[in-house]
Chains A and B, each alone.
Chain A
């Protein structure tokens, strides 16, 4: 009943097309995150689901109902805006009660629901304050409260945590996830923070320039990016990419760049002579100080605590590896790198599409 189905959705502003045919199904009760760089059309898509932007072509359905031309007030959705959009002339209590007041809900029920939401969000001490008397994080929670008292079919969140400090963001992230686990309301959540996307989503939708690049579970997207954009966009530090070509080696197909050759997964569909990009995530590059492996030279060492980021040059390429051992790496040290073969990604150099590993 709370599913959202989007078919071939297009949005144009005058002659400018910003969404080019979006197809997306959000199943009932799922938490879906729209992730993409700034300006890719995430907010536009969300606002179209909410009914705040008109549909240029295509269809949006909530549940079984086509909602293209339905006024936002009739869609039974709740939305949390990036900049809170609180009612400045109303107290926190009235902000949260607003939707129920419109429906002339009985006072007892209004009180009960507002108090319930306030207790979930630890807002009880602030109920009689006005938005301007609250901190950013508190306002954020009021905006959340205003959404959850509603019991909507769908929650829409537009970068709700982007204005919070790092600590509060982590805390709110957990609260939102807990809330979803408790309420099981279909949720569409917009962010450009990949950590938020990875940690909260049942499904991540990666967008770029008005098209969807990939849809999948967080780990699926991380482990099996469909194309170069997704591979580069997800992960920090980003995936290492070496450009070169496929050659026939002694033990089968190999990747070659300069005088470096690397092994490929057994059944890779890459063809000999194909120009490709060879991708490997930093944590899949095992670094050691001696032994066998590709030789690289350390340039920068960044200890982060749980791990050490090693930046190095390999055959003229800037490359990053993650080491967990507490070894005494120093710049200009010789480094031996061993890529984990089954974690190698190959992308066609021209189409930038992933080449299946077999």
Chain B
């Protein structure tokens, strides 16, 4: 029998109901706090910022809610940046998807050594993107870069215009670095999907007379469609926000040939110090991503 005093002691420290483990609050609090501090607050603050008109010379900000928003839609550099971003996203995503699926199909084997190959494959993912950018910068160097050397040898490029100096080739230069780094991520997702596919429908298909090619298009692809859609969504959103490679490798150049939306927002922020307009462009990017991603989810019926 416990003495009544200790019960009295318990009573003193009894928690309010919303802090007990039956209540959702303690469970949701940490994650919600993170989201609020690092997600919601910046968005709302950007929104607030975007409603000011800043005079860079006098550094005076006046409350003009529609000023920056009308500027975004009239800004040719925004329109260019949208087109660069979309081009970049589309090309890089397509290459990564096709390569990723292809490599995953090759690596999907239980034969000896494939486990090692699979783990080697993901090595590029551990390199920080900025380092990747620097690495490729060196390899693209007009005088001693190994990739430039090969491209000269193949006659695809002449020493007078290094890859990152050409108006159209510069974007490709960045895409190649992105593909090198992020294709393994696609491979990883695709491999997880492929390895989880049941074996017996493929055996049934072989007996039904399907060639390997027919089995791929009629079984593998449809059975993988949900995973492919998810991979496209994740990588697509990531690619749309491309900043580090551009910043390190071309700094939006030559001219503004490789200026993506986030790169442009960065330029406005750091170079022009027009914080409200930079926030507006960043928010505009966010809105575009949300719209495109949701259209994609609707059209391809992605389920989480």
Contact = CB atoms under 8 A, between A and B. Distances in A.
A93 B206 CA distance: 19
B9 to A, nearest CB: 57
A71 interface: yes
Interface stretch (A97-105, A218-226, A324-332): A97-105
A87 B209 CA distance: 14
Given A73-B209, A73-B211, A99-B209, A146 B204 contact: yes
B205 interface: yes
Nearest to A81: B200
A95 B210 CA distance: 13
Interface in B194-245: 198, 200-201, 203-211, 214, 218-219, 222-223
B interface: dominant SS: helix
Contact of B209 (A81, A86, A103): A103
Given A85-B201, A88-B201, A88-B223, A52 B206 contact: yes
Contacts of A81: 200, 203-204
- Contact residues on B (Cβ < 8 Å of other chain), bracket: 10 to 19
Contacts of A83: 200
A282 interface: no
Given A73-B210, A73-B211, A88-B223, A98 B203 contact: no
A184 to B, nearest CB: 21
Contacts, number: 58
A145 interface: no
A289 to B, nearest CB: 56
Contact of A50 (B198, B207, B209, B222): B207
A72 B207 CA distance: 5
A246 interface: no
A160 interface: no
A99 to B, nearest CB: 4
A34 interface: no
Contacts of B210: 73, 98, 102
A139 to B, nearest CB: 13
Nearest to A72: B206
A182 interface: no
Contacts of B203: 50, 52, 72, 79, 81, 85
Interface residues of A, number: 23
Nearest to B219: A87
Contacts of A86: 201, 204
A interface: dominant SS: loop
B223 A73 contact: no
Contact of B204 (A71, A75, A79, A89): A79
Interface in A48-90: 50-52, 71-73, 75, 77-79, 81, 83, 85-89
A307 B204 CA distance: 44
B208 A146 contact: yes
Most buried by A among B208, B219, B222, B223: B208
A304 B205 CA distance: 45
B110 to A, nearest CB: 13
B229 to A, nearest CB: 14
B207 A78 contact: yes
B201 A102 contact: no
B261 to A, nearest CB: 37
A87 B204 contact: yes
A88 B198 CA distance: 10
Contact of A102 (B200, B208, B223): B208
A3 B207 CA distance: 18
A99 B209 CA distance: 6
B210 to A, nearest CB: 5
A185 B127 CA distance: 61
Given A85-B200, A102-B214, A73 B206 contact: yes
Contacts of B206: 51-52, 71-73
Contact of B223 (A50, A89, A146): A89
Given A52-B203, A85-B203, A87-B201, A98 B208 contact: yes
Contacts of B219: 87
Contacts of B207: 50-52, 72-73, 75, 77-79
Interface in B151-205: 198, 200-201, 203-205
A61 B203 CA distance: 20
B204 A102 contact: no
Most buried by A among B207, B209, B211: B207
A201 B49 CA distance: 83
A199 B27 CA distance: 62
Contacts of B211: 73
Interface of A: 50-52, 71-73, 75, 77-79, 81, 83, 85-89, 98-99, 102-103, 146, 150
Given A78-B207, A99-B209, 8 more contacts: A73-B206, A73-B207, A73-B210, A73-B211, A87-B205, A102-B209, A102-B210, A150-B208
6 contacts: A73-B210, A78-B208, A79-B207, A81-B204, A89-B223, A150-B208
Across the A-B interface, give the 6 residue pairs with the lowest CB-CB distance, nearest first: A85-B200, A99-B208, A85-B204, A72-B206, A73-B209, A89-B222
